[in-house]
Amino acid sequence: MSVSALIELQRELAAAPGVPWRPEGRPPAVAGVFVVGPRGVGGTGRAGDPGWAAAAVLAGPRLLATVAVRGRLGAPYAPGLLALREGPLLERALRALPRAPEVVLVDATGRDHPRRAGLALHLGAAVGLPSVGVTDRPLVATAPDPGPEAGAATELRLDGELVGYRLRARAGARPIVVHAGWRVSPQVALEVVRDLVRGARTPEPLRQARHLARTLRAREGGGDGDGPGP
């Protein structure tokens, strides 16, 4: 996909109607999906860099499924265009899961984006699943620091619109940012992530997926790779 085609698609996704999702009174099956590139690559990287992606599905404390894949990253990194670099490999990992989750956590923004459609939202639309973004910092939106206690949150706003929250997942830790994604409101996104941090800074499905992706990369020496992983 070209940059211009992606920008047009992002605008379409941001304006797409849909019924908001919310959990139905029990722990939902939540997938975390994460991608890593090769070690030692500086700057924005290149198209064709090797990449390793993993997905992990949990329902409450139960680990239901995991998968890891290797392949190629599609483009150099550019703000607002992360889907070109990471999107296809993340989609492969999600589609390789032996069971579909109910909602997906992505290491990317959602409506905190110049066109209100970051990779977390785009990936959810691509696979037809509600999605939530979790990042270390906002992209273009702003929010004050939350209070020091675990669970404290402040509204993340872009041009006055509520697009997510900054969340103190653990007392004394730097806040994370929780992003509304595909057919998930900011409030529900915050509920989902709060239930999954469990005293850590990173929600458990994302933490598991990150570990799996890094483990596969380490097993292969961080070098070139193509095709499905274990």
pLDDT at position 182 is 98
The C-alpha atoms of residue 83 and residue 45 are separated, in whole angstroms, by 14
Distances (CA, A) of 65 to 54, 205, 218: 11, 10, 21
Q: Which amino acid is at 109?
A: T
The C-alpha atoms of residue 177 and residue 139 are separated, in whole angstroms, by 10
pLDDT string in tens for the chain (230-residue length) = 899 999 999 999 999 998 899 998 789 999 999 999 998 877 899 999 999 999 999 999 999 999 999 999 999 999 999 999 999 999 999 999 999 999 999 999 999 999 999 999 999 999 999 999 999 999 999 999 999 999 999 999 999 999 999 999 999 899 999 999 999 999 999 999 999 997 789 999 999 999 999 999 999 987 544 443 33
pLDDT at position 152 is 96
Measure CA 8 to chain center.
21
pLDDT at position 65 is 97
Measuring CA to CA, which residue among 67, 63, 57 is closest to residue 31?
A: 57
Distances (CA, A) of 142 to 31, 100, 178: 27, 33, 12
pTM (predicted TM-score) = 0.94
pLDDT at position 1 is 80
Which domains are assigned to the chain?
A: 3-11+28-223 (3.30.2170.10)
pLDDT at position 223 is 54
pLDDT at position 26 is 86
pLDDT at position 24 is 86
